[in-house]
Structures are given as structure tokens and as C-alpha cells.
Amino acid sequence: MTDIRVVLCEDHLITRQGIRRLLEDEKGLEVVGEASNGEEVIQLVNEIKPDVILMDIAMPKLNGIDATRQIKIISPKTNILILSAYDDDEYVFALLKAGANGYLLKNVSGSELVRAIKAVHKGEPVLNPVVAKKVVNYFRLGENKIPTADDAAKLSERELSIIRLAAKGLTNKDIAENLHLSYRTVEGHLRDIFNKLGVGSRTEAVLQGLRMGWFTLEELV
């Protein structure tokens, strides 16, 4: 199996070196580049198209939010996992809307970080519990947009079924087995869903589905 190609984007050198040592000791992961700011990571993406970027937020020249937004345009298949010391609402929701595939805080353990990288590479959303609670509260506090007929009509019944299962945390493989489809068919449907909703990740698609009322938090438990 091909190693997951990871780029580290972190402006603190000592932190970046520590993460690199951790990941290089892990079978199945390969660190293929490092960047100290958003401009550098975008240049790396253009050159090598990594599988996963471990992205900080507060960086010089170009922050993680703007870098994430640009990367999702130039390399949609590159998954972005945020690793930050900040859990402020403005950062969390800006990054999820920009297309980040996951959001972890820097108090995460090494084993949790490795699992998260492998999860986002598979297309699974990954959220720190604190961040996940913010997302839940966002919708429970009445921020949901009232769905319209046009919004619901964007997705077919099959696509709605797939996004509901994705919202429950099922992997692409699990969704394929559940709906008796091939893995590639599920991947194709998810790409179509992203395009129709104008989003760049499963996490953002799920947030959109919740906002539009296609499923509720209670249904996902």
C-alpha cells in the first residue's frame, strides 16, 4: 500500500521538527515537505500535490484559513487537517467553511494525530470534541437555515442517502456496503455532492446538510 504523503505547515520550527519525527516513525506515513507559512504550503501543493496537509492557523504572510481556501481550489483531493492551539468560533467555522477536513487542538496525543491523518485521508471528518461541541451548539441554538425546495432538489435520493450515512461517521467503504454500491461509485457520488453544494469536504457537506434540514442531530446519534 502506498504511504500517505503528508506536508507539515507550521511556523514554529521546533514544533514542526517534533511532529516530523513522530510521523516518520509511523508506518504508512511519509512527510514529503514542510512549510512555515501559507504561501510556502501553496507552492508545495502546486509542486507535489500531497495527500494530507497538517495545517496551523496563525502564520506569517498567509494564514491557515486563506491557505486552506486556496488549496481546495488548486488541489481538491488534498485533505487538510487543522492542528491549532485555538478553538475560537471564528477560526473553527471559517476553516470548516473553507474546506478543512478536520480540526484538532495541539493537546492531542501522537497516536490520536496519526489516526486523524489516516482518517481524513480516507475522507472521514475528524473533529476535536471541543470543536464538535461548538458545531452541535451552533445548530441547536437556532442557526439552521430553513430549507427550500430548490436546496433539497440539488441532491438525488441516492446522494441524500449517502450524505446521511457520511454524517453518521461511516467511511466510504461502509457506505458502499450499506447501500450495495461499489467503493468508486460512492466516491463519485460524493464528488457530485461536493460540486452541487459548492463545498470541499465531507465535514462541510455534513454541516450544509444539517443547516438545510436534510437530517437532524438526533438522527445522527
Q: Mean pLDDT, to the nearest integer, of 204-215?
A: 75
Q: What is the pLDDT of residue 145?
A: 47
Cell of 28: 504508512
* Phi-psi region at 191: left, alpha or beta (left = phi > 0; alpha = psi -120 to 50): alpha
d(CA 92, CA 89): 5
Residues carrying CATH 1.10.10.10, the chain: 140-220
Helices (H), the chain: 13-24, 38-48, 64-74, 89-98, 110-121, 129-140, 149-153, 157-167, 172-179, 183-197, 202-212, 217-220
Q: What is the pLDDT of residue 148?
A: 46
pTM given for the model: 0.66
d(CA 145, CA 221): 21
pLDDT in tens, 140-177: 654 444 444 455 457 888 998 898 888 877 888 889 99
Of 99, 219, 208, nearest to 155 (Cα)? 208
Residue 46 has pLDDT above 90, yes or no: yes
* Strand 102-105 with 126-127, pairing: parallel
**pLDDT, greater one: 1 or 113:** 113
Residues carrying CATH 3.40.50.2300, the chain: 4-129
Q: Is 141 helix (H, G, I), strand (E, B) or coil?
A: coil
d(CA 131, CA 24): 27
Q: Is 52 helix (H, G, I), strand (E, B) or coil?
A: strand
Choices 1.10.10.350, 1.10.1200.10, 1.10.10.10, 3.80.10.10: CATH for 140-220: 1.10.10.10
The fold adopted by the segment(s) 4-129 is Rossmann fold (3.40.50)
